[in-house]
Amino acid sequence: RTEPGGLGEINGDLCCRWCVKMSIPDYCKYPEDKILCLKEKLICRETQVFTLLSILGESHHYSYPSVFVYGHTATGKTYVVQTLLKTLKFPHIIVNCVECFSSRMLFEQILNQLQGHTLSAENEYSSYLQCHTLNEFVLLFKQVVHEQNLHNQTVNIVLDKAEHLREMDSNLLPGFLRFQELVCS
């Protein structure tokens, strides 16, 4: 295949070995073993990983209020983000917006994951908290963050297939884009 930048034909194995041997940038404040683990799991994705790391910062830092990861279908966007957040143990929630046909379902799924609550027969498949509006969600989110002792960390909410938010309430997408502002006020 032709590599961007005019390098010509490159064997895929050679490319992957080259990527694994890339050095860790000096600005990287993460443990080297975690970065090496990411390199093993996310072969040839160093550029994307280090871009995300520079945007996200560390879990106790404020970061950009919204990050939109885009690209062609089935290219590993969700896998890269999910692997990075799990490996570095960032507090995070991942919700597939296709599975949430209402804003209430989306809010409750986020709160359930944040609390560590799973729907089961024991709890009659009911949510940890009932939530109907964006305002209510912001208040409950703050409450659960405090209960989970996450108030000094950035909690990353990953909305996979976020384009489906346009089909829900009109204030939902703008609300999530301003979510950091709403939660910190």
- pLDDT tens for each residue of 109-145: 999 999 988 888 888 788 888 999 999 999 999 999 9
Q: How far apart, in whole angstroms, are the C-alpha atoms of residue 18 and residue 22?
A: 7
pLDDT (0 to 100) of residue 79: 96
- pLDDT, average across residues 91-105: 94
Is residue 91 pLDDT above 90, yes or no?
Answer: yes
Question: Where do the structural domains in the chain lie, given as residue ranges?
Answer: 1-59+70-89, 91-185
17-34 pLDDT, tens digit each = 334 444 555 445 788 899
pLDDT (0 to 100) of residue 56: 87
Q: How far apart, in whole angstroms, are the C-alpha atoms of residue 176 and residue 157?
A: 9
Dihedral (CA of 135, 165, 159, 128) sign:
positive
**What 3-state DSSP class applies to 178?**
coil
- pLDDT, average across residues 152-163: 92
Q: Is the pTM of this model over 0.85?
A: no
pLDDT (0 to 100) of residue 107: 96
* pLDDT confidence bin for 102, thresholds 50/70/90: very high
> Residue for token digits 């108030």?
151
- pLDDT, average across residues 85-96: 94
Q: How far apart, in whole angstroms, are the C-alpha atoms of residue 135 and residue 159?
A: 18
Cβ atoms of residues 95 and 157 within 8 Å: yes
Q: Name which of 4, 3, 42 is nearest 20 in CA terms.
A: 42
pLDDT (0 to 100) of residue 19: 41
pLDDT (0 to 100) of residue 25: 53
Q: How far apart, in whole angstroms, are the C-alpha atoms of residue 158 and residue 135?
A: 19
pLDDT mean across residues, the chain: 83
> Residue for token digits 């983000």?
81
Task: Determine whether 55 is exposed, middle or buried from the number of CB atoms within 10 Å of its CB (0-12, 13-18, 19+).
Answer: exposed
